[in-house]
Amino acid sequence: MATDQHPDPAAALEPGATLGDIGEFALISALTQRFPQGEQVLIGPGDDAAVLRVRTGHVVVSTDLMVEGRHFRRDWASAADVGHRAAAQNISDINAMGGTATSLTIGIAAPVDLEAQWLLDFAQGFADECALVGASVVGGDLTRGDQVVVAVTVLGACTVAPVVRSGAGPGDVLAVAGRQGWAAGGLAVLGRGFRSPRVLVEAYRRPEPPYAAGPAAADAGATSMIDVSDGLLSEVAHLATASGVRIDVRSADLEVPEPLHAVAAALGGVDPVGFVLSGGDDHALLATFPADADLPEGWAVIGSVAEGEGVTVDGAVRTGDTGWTHF
């Protein structure tokens, strides 16, 4: 946070000033002032590496990339929106292990003619998302690139044993927490040059992962868990493969909100359930639980686990799109 002793360098920015105008070190100073440090941080930004206080339990680590033109477009989302998304997708990975994110680092490549204010707004959005779980940005790197590329590493902690993908067993139930298919509906709208239904567009721009659901599932005895970044059926397939089981999804138990019905109709009568089954970027959680487990608040059963292999929907293999693939 800016103080009288350490004035915010961004305060002196001329409108439209670029990264080249402000310079690397002044920009880094402005960025770091947007990242308050939590009590777990012994040494934060400004040294060769951060130093963190490690408590008892398990340390969990994950890394993700966001590339302009592939994962986001600056004409579709504000800089703050992109910051929220970059933080959310990383924090969600820790959530999917049953943990809570504590610290993150950011590496950013950006064109020299990018307006400096864009990057400062990105940093504020990123910091605001981190604040939802009490995590701190403890360092990073900045370099020149032909497009904006964001690389984030997140560290977190699990107070109980981490929940992995390979623990599902026959007789378990499959459950979901968080909204699913909303971001896919928003992407479909934006891809056709529209901005409504606004609730779906905003869901694409700023996901709302169920951050409390991961630790709650771990405490409740979840046998496996994963976050939905690329598509529900795609992620269920990861659970089934890792666990060596067959998982059936019941379409009648999936929540399909009214805005998805509206978008499906506007697109020529496509099946709105498809957004839920194959859509990503909402960062909902999927988990399996013993059939007799008391599911935590916010979790809903949508399927079952049996002996065998693969994924079915209502007992049959679903053809067509099951989620996003990078290659």
When divided into structural domains, the chain yields a total of 2
Domain final residue pick, 158, 182, 216: 158
Domain that holds residue 201: 173-313
Do 215 and 287 reside in the same domain of the chain? yes
Q: Are residues 184 and 306 in the same domain?
A: yes
Residues 93-104 pLDDT 10s: 999 999 999 999
Q: Do both 179 and 300 map to the same domain? A: yes
- Does residue 320 lie within any of the structural domains? no
SS (H, E, C) the chain: CCCCCCCCHHHHCCCCCEHHHHCHHHHHHHHHCCCCCCCCEEECECECCCEECCCCCEEEEEEEEEEECCCECCCCCCHHHHHHHHHHHHHHHHHCCCCEEEEEEEEEEECCCCEHHHHHHHHHHHHHHHHCCCCEEEEEEEEECCCCEEEEEEEEEECCCCCCCCCCCCCCEEEEECCCCHHHHHHHHHHCCCCCCHHHHHHHHCCCCCCCHHHHHHHCCCCEEEECCCCHHHHHHHHHHHHCCEEEECHHHCCCCHHHHHHHHHCCCCCCHHHHHHCCCCCCEEEEECCCCCCCCCEEEEEEEECCCEEEECCECCCCCCCCCCC
Do residues 138 and 178 share a domain?
no
Q: What is the mean pLDDT of the chain?
A: 91
140 with 209, same domain: the answer is no
Domain shared by 189 and 118, yes or no: no
Annotated binding site: 48, 62-64, 71, 93, 140-141, 165, 227, 229-230, 281, 324
Query: For the domain that residue 25 is a member of, what is the CATH number?
Result: 3.30.1330.10
Q: Which residues are annotated as a binding site for substrate?
A: 71, 281, 324
Which of 158, 193, 216 is where one domain is finished? 158
Instruction: Give the domain CATH number at 278.
Output: 3.90.650.10
Same domain for 131 and 198, yes or no, is: no
Measured between alpha carbons, how far is 285 from 86 in angstroms, rounded to an integer? Answer: 17
Annotation: binding site for Mg(2+): 48, 62-64, 93, 141, 227, 230
166 occurs within a structural domain:
no
- Annotated binding-site positions for ATP: 140-141, 165, 229
d(CA 19, CA 38): 28
Is 252 in the same domain as 189? yes
* pLDDT (tens digit per residue) in 224-239: 999 999 999 999 999 9
> What integer is the mean pLDDT of 197-207?
96
Say whether both 295 and 210 belong to one domain: yes
Are 197 and 277 contained in the same domain?
A: yes
Task: Tell me: do 39 and 71 sit in the same domain.
Answer: yes
Q: Are residues 120 and 61 in the same domain?
A: yes
Mean pLDDT of 190-216: 95
pTM higher than 0.85:
yes
Higher pLDDT among residues 84 and 318, named by residue: 84
d(CA 93, CA 61): 9
Last residue of a domain, one of 158, 188, 218: 158
In a domain, 57, yes or no: yes
Question: Is 206 part of a structural domain of the chain?
Answer: yes
